[in-house]
Amino acid sequence: QSFKLLGFLDVQSVPCARESVLYGSVGSLVVGLGHFLATSRVRRSCDFAVGGFICTMLGYWFYCRYSLAQQRIRQRMLKEGMRNRLLFEGSSLDPERKQTSNERSDS
């Protein structure tokens, strides 16, 4: 059974959703409690807590999604590089073969 936040965000299947909600709740607690300890105003502290939740959750969401996109790009580049290595190994297009033939001619 999946947990859906606000009825549409499936926290288990969407990447970065679970961590964003958890960090958002911790940020909410820190901001709300900190504001309450500083001012002793309950209603205003609750408003700050909601704002802290939203800011922390969105901030971590964008950071996590950006990191995930970078990781996928690196994986795609590595996969293509491995495929090219297998494809060109031993052929005239092999960069390592060109280096060894150039080193032999320099000697």
pLDDT tens-digit series, residues 31-64: 999 999 999 999 999 999 999 999 999 999 999 9
pLDDT level of residue 65 (50, 70, 90 thresholds): very high
Q: Which pair of tokens denotes residue 41?
A: 């105003």
Number of Cβ within 10 Å of residue 93's Cβ equals 11
Contact (Cβ atoms closer than 8 angstroms) between residue 1 and residue 37 = no
- Convert the pLDDT of each residue in 11-25 to its tens digit: 777 788 889 989 999
pTM here is: 0.69
